Chain A
Amino acid sequence: MMTDTATVIKTPLYKRPRCLTDEVTHYCSGCGHGIMHRMLAELIDELDIREKTIGIAPVGCAVLAYNYIDIDWSEAAHGRPPAVATGIKRVQPDKIVFTYQGDGDLASIGMAETIHAANRGENITIIFINNGIYAMTQGQMAPTTLAGQVTTTTPRGRSVEEEGPPIKVCELLQGFERVRLLARTAVNSPENVRKTRKLLKKALMYQIEGTGFSLIEVLSACPTYWRKTPQDCSDFIENVMSATFPLRVFKDTGKGLP
């Protein structure tokens, strides 16, 4: 069958989500942050929660996330988004509150805030971008840096004897009674992007339902400080990173949601 180009243009399948501003992002090409921003914006549109959603941006490459998604936003000091989210959600339980954090932010300087928000079972959603590196500060070791991985502060590769092995946040939080949904996904392939989208939607829906803390960990590429091409980054996530950080749902105590 012939496709009528004019019709295709009139009804585009792929539009800018209402929530995504038309600001040009400062992310490098091939960076996972851009994919996650778009996904989040799409979901906020789809769930029709733009007018009651409050995001908390981290200190890290996503520090300016508030310029790209058209909702109310708060900044937070490095590592403190779960505490700021707790303050916001506790006084506005009817709002949808999420944090968007890197691995340095969430699992190093902000580990205490992460663990205690999870333990309290704050009814918030945490989007945890694991790129295995401190990107914004030019590529130092993160708590999630792989064993042997070279960074500016592990020039001979991360030594498990000296620096310890990478911290696995999902495995760590798995035993927390009040955690509702805990999953590790990736955005290195269309299939994984679709899976991530599904899980993130679920997490937001659980929050809308009012029933609990969710954390979605997303393995995400940093071509710039991994010093790899975007394609090599995708392969690295597929073949190397996900060996240390297996992609799976660690906990889902919900029922009935898609």
Chain B
Amino acid sequence: MTENKGKILFSGNEAAAEAAIRAGCKFYAGYPITPQNELIAYMADQLPLRDGVFVQAESELAAINMVFGAAASGVRTMTSSSSPGISLKQEGISYIAGSELPAVIINVQRGGPGLGGIGSAQGDYFQSTRSGGHGDYRCMVLAPATAQEMADMTFLAFDLADMYRMPVIVLSDAVTGQMMEGICFDDMEEPKKWSKPWALTGATGRERNIVHSFHLDQEELENFNKKLQAKYEAIKQKECRFETAGGDAPEYVMVAFGSCARTLKQIVTDPPEELKGKLGLFRPITLWPFPGEALAQYAASAKGVLTVEMNAGQMVEDVRLTVNGKIPVHLMPHPGGGIPVEARIRKKLTSLFCDDPPKQ
């Protein structure tokens, strides 16, 4: 009983919505798409009652551009969608990055490409961690694995967005968004207040502010890009987040993010007999910045790495860049929606790492 104290039963989508409101989100615009519909409904119901504005936009394009306007006004703002809708938002995300505005975007991923399906997937890793839209920019990307983390990371996303004046993506998936779990909001503090002297509030007693990403002068644009890159470098140094489970210097390392990592965690706590004491899990929490250095350290004495992803193999490219050919990196892809079954992962692990000789 006590472990459930202060907990409410929420889906991950509702948890994220509630956390956004607690973080001081004052404007939300969205467009319906499964599997994030609980989120937009929660915002529609709650935000107007709690000093905020909800708009059901005519499209994801409009939604992200409304968010652009609210962000330019200096208020905390968010939109959410799922994969096909996030594709439409890329234009706006690029403009938000280029105008250095803070905004939070939640992607409750589903299978693709195209209309895909509505099952859980992680096929938007590349889209989120590279630029997604046009130009040289990045979004910070947080990958929750539980409903509680959807709440906590959404709350955190608002701070990161304000701190670095950039779009922050919470990259969830159908399972994490829709599964109901006990959530606790007790530890959530009052939202931090950020000074936003650049905001468009009417030029009262100051010079006019202009929010823009247009730099016709090539040198000016080059310098602006360099400034952005310097910001991204600082973020890489300071904001890498990850989690490990199992031994400190495992012989075999599994790498996974989001709901997939949750399945793997279970395997690490109860590994196959032959791998007892030898298996570890490395779970990137920030997908950008990718915690490469930490992974390299964690896998320093490992003999093999297995990356499990609910896509055809996207994060594995970052894992391979990190270990740089020193250790064999295997991939267990699971594209198109649906969760890799634990028993199959166990089988893969033993066939890879316990056969004699081990597979390369």
Contacts and interface: CB of A to CB of B under 8 A. Distances in A.
B225 interface: no
B202 A91 contact: no
Interface string B44-66: 00000000010101110111011
A54 B202 contact: yes
Nearest to A97: B69
A208 interface: no
Contacts of B203: 50-51, 70-72
Interface stretch (B70-78, B159-167, B295-303, B321-329): B70-78
Interface residues of A, number: 34
A63 B210 CA distance: 12
B184 interface: no
B212 A74 contact: yes
Interface in A73-97: 73-77, 80, 83-92, 95
A80 B92 contact: yes
A72 B201 contact: yes
A90 B55 CA distance: 9
Contacts of A76: 65, 68, 95
B212 A66 contact: yes
Given A72-B210, A73-B208, A87-B72, A80 B65 contact: yes
Interface residues of B, number: 40
B202 A83 contact: no
Given A70-B208, A73-B208, A75-B211, A83 B57 contact: yes
B351 interface: no
B213 interface: yes
Contacts, number: 129
A72 B53 contact: no
Interface string A43-83: 00000001111101100000110100011111111001001
B350 to A, nearest CB: 52
B65 A87 contact: yes
Nearest to B91: A77
B58 A72 contact: no
Contacts of B158: none
Nearest to B216: A64
Nearest to A83: B65
Interface in B259-317: none
B150 interface: no
The prevalent SS among residues of B at the interface is mixed
A74 B66 CA distance: 12
B131 interface: no
Contacts of B71: 87
Contacts of B91: 77
A88 to B, nearest CB: 4
Given A80-B61, A80-B65, A83-B62, A88 B70 contact: yes
B66 A73 contact: no
B27 interface: yes
B58 to A, nearest CB: 4
Contacts of B212: 57, 66, 73-75
B274 to A, nearest CB: 56
Contacts of B201: 72, 92, 95
A194 interface: no
A193 interface: no
A52 B206 CA distance: 12
Given A66-B210, A76-B68, A91 B26 contact: yes
B254 to A, nearest CB: 41
Contact of B61 (A53, A56, A83, A89): A83
Given A76-B65, A86-B55, 20 more contacts: A72-B201, A73-B212, A74-B69, A74-B211, A75-B99, A75-B211, A75-B212, A76-B95, A77-B65, A80-B65, A83-B61, A83-B65, A84-B66, A86-B29, A86-B62, A87-B29, A88-B200, A89-B69, A91-B70, A116-B57
Interface of A: 50-54, 56-57, 63-64, 66, 70-77, 80, 83-92, 95, 112-113, 115-116
Listed from nearest, the 9 A-B pairs whose CB atoms lie closest are A87-B69, A83-B65, A75-B212, A87-B66, A116-B58, A84-B69, A52-B202, A87-B70, A80-B65
